[in-house]
């Protein structure tokens, strides 16, 4: 066969695949009865449920074109979370109304699924047929779709009806997610829209779906319901010595006027109050809310409503917190994401003080030797990119409440991104000279570390000693590193604790998505 014949054959197959894809899209358009831009389906208002096992939440959606806002409500309507897409940004807000831009896997899945639900696929030029597969007993044809600003996805279409039965986001990549498209319902006469879909254990179902004009103002992120009033007082910080060079930053604050000791903990995706203190402080209990990140902890007791949380003379009002039963813990709680979301916090470990600033009136300075890390707050923890080896990166978060060292996902070791020999019992803790650590968040053995945190995440893995790690511009010499299963930190995550962080003063600037480290003189 001549080279020309091979080239012409390849061109024919490519054109044929695109023609097949166009025919399948046309069949789908015939099935649903509309495409993006149809004036009879400019948008809709929908209501239904989201189930997670036996847990049931109210689910509602408002949409105009590709822009939408979803609302999850639980605990008898007292707690809600919202998420949406502006047309350029995927966002999510927590029960206190603090909003973060979504990135990584959550944003990729939301973006690709939205292209399907808004019936916009006809505008994507890069689409081919890539095979067939069985989905729920139906032989489907697979459409490989490659949006220009999102990961590819495979869409499984019933070629007889034109209905989409399944989508796989990022099919060969780290964000691979299977979305089962379970049902369609009429949104207008002769017009169908996806009315039920399942992602992992979460099933979303519309029980009411009506085409409607929705105002742009109905699609914006909410204003926070928890609000700050600011004073200028500084708050003493105790870099509490847990022994064996394990330190934890603690402050005294009041909840509803009742004083308690709290850990400053950016590794906690909310504010946690332990039940003994919450009871003394008269916190209003709110049961339920299965979308809490703490729902996996058997000691989780639900949300609580705090009228005032005061540090120095700055007060956070009307804030929803998480309640956890931990009767042996002497501290009052953990100050996590919701404490920092609406402030700029300067924590000067050198002088043992903290000051809170109104972000509307203050722009943090980055002095000589300091470095402002851009952070991703998708999981309500300050995640940053860390160069590991070659072109490999990990994405741990700064965990100011973690008194230990560096933890990374076991998958980063399996992939070869980090290479080091396992530690022996004798070499595990040369500075402390003791056999392992005991603490409120980690219990460890010199060679095998078992990890658990208050969200209920657990895992274990081996420990190594690196010669050096590079965190931003800073060289972390001879750091201990323990690997934990991907069920804790995902495929490429981890946590950086106070073995590293205590050598810096911190400016925590969540409103601008920055975490500034300034070297100090603490040894």
Q: What is the token pair recorded at 309?
A: 């949380």
What is the CATH number for 454? 2.40.70.10
Q: What is the token pair recorded at 101?
A: 């831009």
Residue 153, domain member (yes or no): yes
Tell me: do 379 and 434 sit in the same domain: yes
Query: Does the global pTM surpass 0.85?
Result: yes
Tell me: do 69 and 211 sit in the same domain: yes
Residue 110, domain member (yes or no): yes
Residue 404, domain member (yes or no): yes
Tell me: do 105 and 160 sit in the same domain: yes
Domain span at 263: 227-357
- pLDDT score of 423: 65
Count structural domains, the chain: 3
Task: Write down which residue in 299, 323, 357 finishes a domain.
Answer: 357
Tell me: do 245 and 312 sit in the same domain: yes
Distance (Å, whole) CA 118 – CA 422: 51
Task: Write down which residue in 301, 323, 357 finishes a domain.
Answer: 357
- pLDDT score of 486: 73
Instruction: Write the burial class of residue 325 (CB in 10 Å: 0-12 exposed, 13-18 middle, 19+ buried).
Output: middle
Residue 362, domain member (yes or no): no
- pLDDT score of 16: 46
Tell me: do 319 and 379 sit in the same domain: no
Tokens 């973006």 correspond to 111
Tell me: do 18 and 127 sit in the same domain: yes
Length of the chain: 523
- Per-run averaged pLDDT (10 residues), the chain, 523 residues: 42 49 94 94 95 87 95 90 93 96 90 94 92 96 91 95 96 91 97 96 95 93 95 94 82 98 96 95 87 86 96 97 91 97 96 96 91 96 89 91 88 83 54 32 52 77 83 88 83 91 96 96 76
Task: Write down which residue in 198, 218, 238 finishes a domain.
Answer: 218
Residue 365, domain member (yes or no): no
Contact 481, 420 (CB under 8 A): yes
Tokens 């909003």 correspond to 99
Tell me: do 191 and 296 sit in the same domain: no
Contact 303, 286 (CB under 8 A): yes
Distance (Å, whole) CA 94 – CA 107: 16
Tell me: do 190 and 260 sit in the same domain: no
Residue 364, domain member (yes or no): no
Residue 207, domain member (yes or no): yes
Tell me: do 80 and 209 sit in the same domain: yes
Tell me: do 428 and 388 sit in the same domain: yes
Of residues 503, 230, 224, 201, the one with CA closest to residue 371: 503
Contact 321, 231 (CB under 8 A): no
What is the CATH number for 42? 2.50.20.10
Tell me: do 390 and 280 sit in the same domain: no
Tell me: do 478 and 412 sit in the same domain: yes
Give the three-class secondary structure for 54: coil
Query: Order of strands across the sheet with 392-398?
Result: 386-389, 392-398, 493-496, 406-409, 480-484, 458-465, 448-452, 442-444
Residue 366, domain member (yes or no): no
The pairing of strands 153-157 and 164-169 is antiparallel
């Amino acid at each position: 066969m001549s080279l020309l014949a091979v080239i012409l054959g390849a061109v024919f197959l490519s054109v044929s695949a695109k023609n097949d894809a166009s025919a399948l899209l046309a069949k789908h358009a015939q099935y649903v009865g509309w495409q993006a831009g149809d004036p009879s389906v400019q948008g809709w208002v929908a209501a239904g449920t989201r189930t997670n096992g036996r847990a049931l939440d109210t689910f509602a959606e408002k949409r105009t074109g590709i822009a939408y806002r979803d609302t999850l409500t639980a605990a008898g309507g007292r707690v809600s979370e919202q998420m949406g897409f502006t047309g350029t940004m995927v966002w999510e807000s927590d029960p206190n109304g603090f909003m973060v831009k979504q990135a990584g896997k959550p944003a990729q899945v939301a973006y690709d699924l939205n292209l399907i639900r808004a019936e916009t696929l006809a505008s994507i030029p890069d689409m081919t047929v890539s095979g067939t597969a069985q989905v729920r007993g139906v032989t489907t044809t697979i459409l490989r779709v490659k949006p220009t600003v999102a990961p590819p996805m495979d869409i499984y279409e019933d070629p007889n009806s034109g209905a989409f039965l399944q989508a796989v986001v990022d099919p060969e990549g780290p964000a691979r997610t299977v979305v089962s498209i379970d049902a369609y319902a009429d949104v207008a006469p002769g017009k169908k829209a996806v009315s039920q879909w399942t992602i992992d254990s979460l099933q979303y179902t519309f029980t009411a779906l009506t085409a409607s004009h929705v105002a742009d103002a109905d699609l914006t992120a909410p204003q926070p319901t928890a609000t700050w009033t600011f004073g200028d007082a500084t708050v003493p910080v105790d870099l509490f010595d847990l022994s064996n060079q394990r330190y934890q930053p603690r402050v005294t604050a009041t909840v509803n006027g009742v004083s308690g000791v709290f850990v400053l903990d950016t590794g906690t995706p909310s504010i946690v109050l332990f039940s003994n203190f919450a009871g003394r402080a008269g916190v209003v209990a709110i049961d339920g809310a299965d979308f809490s990140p703490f729902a996996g902890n058997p000691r989780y007791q639900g949300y609580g409503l705090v009228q005032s949380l005061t540090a120095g003379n700055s007060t956070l009002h009307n804030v929803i917190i998480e309640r956890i039963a931990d009767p042996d813990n002497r501290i009052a709680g953990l100050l996590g994401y919701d404490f920092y979301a609406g402030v700029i916090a300067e924590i000067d470990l050198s002088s043992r003080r903290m000051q809170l600033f109104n972000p509307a009136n203050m722009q943090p300075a980055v002095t000589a030797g300091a470095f402002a890390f851009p952070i991703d707050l998708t999981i309500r923890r300050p995640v940053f990119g860390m160069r590991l080896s070659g072109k490999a990166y990990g994405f741990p978060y700064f965990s100011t409440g973690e008194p230990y060292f560096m933890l990374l996902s076991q998958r980063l070791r399996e992939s070869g991104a980090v290479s080091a020999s396992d530690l022996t019992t004798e070499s595990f803790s040369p500075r402390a000279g003791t056999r392992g650590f005991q603490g409120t968040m980690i219990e460890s053995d010199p060679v095998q570390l078992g990890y658990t945190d208050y969200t209920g995440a657990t895992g274990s893995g081996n420990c190594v000693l690196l010669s050096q790690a590079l965190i931003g511009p800073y060289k972390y010499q001879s750091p201990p590193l323990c690997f934990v299963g991907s069920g804790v930190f995902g495929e490429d995550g981890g946590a950086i604790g106070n073995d590293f962080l205590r050598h810096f003063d911190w400016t925590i600037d969540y409103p601008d998505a920055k975490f500034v480290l300034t070297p100090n003189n603490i040894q």
